[in-house]
Structure 1
Amino acid sequence: MKTIDWTKDELVAYILLFAANADFNESAEERELIISKVDRQTFQEIHEEFETDNDYQGLKKIMISLKQHQYDKEDIDLLMEDIKALFFADGDFDITEQNMLICLNRLFKTV
C-alpha cells in the first residue's frame, strides 16, 4: 500500500468513520455529523470501503493519506476537533471513545 487515491474529503470521511466505530456503534447522529463535513455520495463510497477494511488496513490508509495530503499540525488540530465533536454527537463519550481519541492524537503527531 504505497499510495491512497483519496481526496481530502474522502480522507476526512474515512477518519471520522473510523472514530465513529470506536465503540462499535455508529449512531445516526455520528453519521449526520460526518455527512455535514462531506457530501452524502462521498460518505457512502467511503463507508463501503471502510466496511471491507480491518483496523490495521484502516490505520495504514489513514497515515499514508495524511502524509500524501501533507497535513501539518494545524490541519491535525482541526481534524482532532472534528473527531471530538463526533464523539459527543450522540451524547455519550464513553471510555472506548476516550481511548480512541488519545490513540489517534498520539498517532497523528507522528505525521
Structure 2
Amino acid sequence: MKTIDWTRDELVAYILLFAANSDFKESEEERNLIISKVDLQTFQDIHDEFDRDNDYQGIQKIMTSLEQHNYDKDDIDILMEDIKVLFFSDGDFDITEQNMLKCLNRLFKTL
C-alpha cells in the first residue's frame, strides 16, 4: 500500500474509531473519549475518511501508518490500553469488542 499521510494523532483517532465501531455502534462515550485524545477537527476529518473505508482498507491503512510512524512494542502497549479504556467507556464490553481487542492485539504483534 502507498504511504499514508497521517499524523500520529490522526492514526490514533482512526484506530480508536475502528475499535469503537467493532460492535457496529459508536456510543457518545466512545466519541467523547476519542475527542479527548485528539482535537475535534482531527476527529471529524478522520471520521469522514473512516466512513468511506471498508474494513480491509481500514486495516491496511492502520498497519501501513503504524509502520511509517515506527511504532514499537511500548507504543503498541499504550495503544492497546487506550483501546481497552475505549471499550469500557460505555459500560458494555460485549463479545464483539472482546474479539476485536484480541484481533487487534494479534495484528499489532506482527509489526
Shift of 1:74: 0.1
- Counterparts of residues 1-111 of structure 1 (less than 5 Å): 1-111=1-111
Give the CA RMSD over aligned residues: 0.4
Structure 2, unaligned runs of 5 or more: none
Q: 5+ unaligned residues in a row in structure 1: which ranges?
A: none
Runs of 4+, deviation exceeding 3 Å: none
State how far apart, in whole Å, the 1-side matches of 2:2 and 2:44 are: 24
Residue 2 of structure 1 and its aligned partner are, at CA, apart by 1.4
- When the two structures are aligned, how many residues end up with a matched partner? 111
Amino-acid identity (%):
81
State how far apart, in whole Å, the 2-side matches of 1:51 and 1:27 are.
15
Distance in 1 separating the partners of 2:96 and 2:25: 11
Taking structure 2 as the reference length, what is the TM-score of the superposition?
Answer: 0.99
Give the secondary structure class of the aligned counterpart of 2:92. Answer: coil
